[in-house]
Amino acid sequence: MDKCTPESLLAGRNIKLTRQRQIVLNVIIETGKPFSASDLHESLAGEMDLATIYRNLEMLCGEGIIRQVMNEKDRQYYELACKHNPEHPHFYCSRCGKIFCMKNEKPARLKSSLPGDFTVEQTVLQYRGICPDCGRE
């Protein structure tokens, strides 16, 4: 699968690619799955403090570079919002706490059923239950 780069994600935006933003974006791109600020902090192994991570996530979310996907147990989860990762539903396992991307589901079908005078800014569709691994236990 093709991947974006920090440079391509910020291209055409009035945002400077600082060293910290480049590090954060590289980790997000490589992660390839939903993540929280704590997950990023752990991945960066003390290279950046949590407050700096939160500031970067807030800015990236405000610019539409990442999107919020769910809030579980007082943790906000995000994912990359780019052409390689269109909006899709997520499944939260209530046993193990893992979040799975359900990329075969197409929220666009739901959007097209809305009356024409509605403007959709974000679609959030979440499933909750037991994942296959936990179901086998």
Q: Please tell me whether residue 77 adopts helix, strand or coil conformation.
A: strand
pLDDT tens, 51-99?
A: 999 999 999 999 999 999 988 778 899 999 988 888 888 899 999 989 9
- Please check whether residue 57 is in contact with residue 25, taking contact to mean a CB–CB distance below 8 angstroms: no
Answer yes or no: do 74 and 124 share one domain. Answer: no
pTM for the complete prediction?
Answer: 0.81
Q: Please tell me whether residue 75 adopts helix, strand or coil conformation.
A: strand
Answer yes or no: do 51 and 100 share one domain. Answer: no
Residue 25: both structure tokens together: 């974006």
Answer yes or no: do 68 and 123 share one domain. Answer: no
CATH number, domain of 61, equals 1.10.10.10
The residue range of the domain holding 112 is: 86-137
Number of folded domains that form the chain: 2
Answer yes or no: do 3 and 69 share one domain. Answer: yes
